[in-house]
Amino acid sequence: MLKSRHFLGETYYADSNALVKRYIPETGSAWIEQEFDAASGNRIITTKLSSKF
């Protein structure tokens, strides 16, 4: 988890499964929605991975 002196919320790294839970209701979706809520003060970070085959 990343921390910053200037940021008062939590920072989460969200993999693709967590991002899908935001749009497709399944186990864990309610928690993801709570953490994605702008009022929570949290930051969600993800990366883009690509491959050249």
Q: What is the pLDDT of residue 42?
A: 75
- Dump pLDDT digits (tens) for 1-41: 444 555 567 777 777 787 788 888 888 888 888 877 877 77
Q: Which residues of 6-45 are buried (b: 16+ CB within 10 A; e: fewer)?
A: eeeeeebebeeebeebeeeeeeeeeebeebbeeeeebebe
How much is the pTM? 0.53
Q: What is the pLDDT of residue 1?
A: 41
Whole-number Å distance between alpha carbons of 45 and 36 = 11
